[in-house]
Amino acid sequence: MGNPVVLFRLMLLTLLSLMPLPGYTQANIEIDTPAIASLKQSMQQRHNQLEPYYAKGAIGLTRDGLVAMHDATALPLSARQPVNALIAAENQDRNALYREIARANSHPEWEADIRSIFGQRWIELARSGWWYQNASGSWVRK
């Protein structure tokens, strides 16, 4: 399975490269501000907790760059509420990350495009066996 933190860093590294946004000048997705650094750190720490749930298929990646419960039956009943809370916290960080990157590029209006690019890239970088939502919104196993 590999070290989840190393995997997450690798994913972020690949994600946070210069990516052109269609119709715009190039957005610097690698841009680093204290807010972005703090969000990345918080997400990185949480990834340790999320990783086994991705692997079990309990949670998956949505097409809009967030995380969602995919199959709660993969979890004991008592774990479903804490995993819900974990998903909510992760999504709060992800939403803030997309907003901060757009703001740091001085183009807050790019947020939707940055989210969409991240959404695709998270899925491309997901490990095999993880679940994600395809373009039509259906869940697919990688």
Which stretches of the chain bind another protein, using CB under 8 A?
A: 33-35, 38-39, 42, 69, 71-75, 77-78, 80-81, 84-85, 88-89, 92-93, 96-97, 99-100
Tokens representing 32 are 């680093």
- Please report how close the Cβ of residue 2 comes to another protein at its closest, in angstroms: 27
- Please report how close the Cβ of residue 1 comes to another protein at its closest, in angstroms: 23
Closest to another protein by CB, 63 or 99: 99
In angstroms and rounded to an integer, the radius of gyration of the C-alpha atoms of the chain is 15
Closest to another protein by CB, 3 or 48: 48
Closest to another protein by CB, 95 or 120: 95
Distance in angstroms (rounded) separating the CA atoms of residues 55 and 7: 13
Q: CA dist 121 to 15, 66, 108, 132, Å?
A: 7, 12, 20, 11
Closest to another protein by CB, 1 or 78: 78
Smallest Cα–Cα separation from 11: which of 96, 109, 134, 97? 97
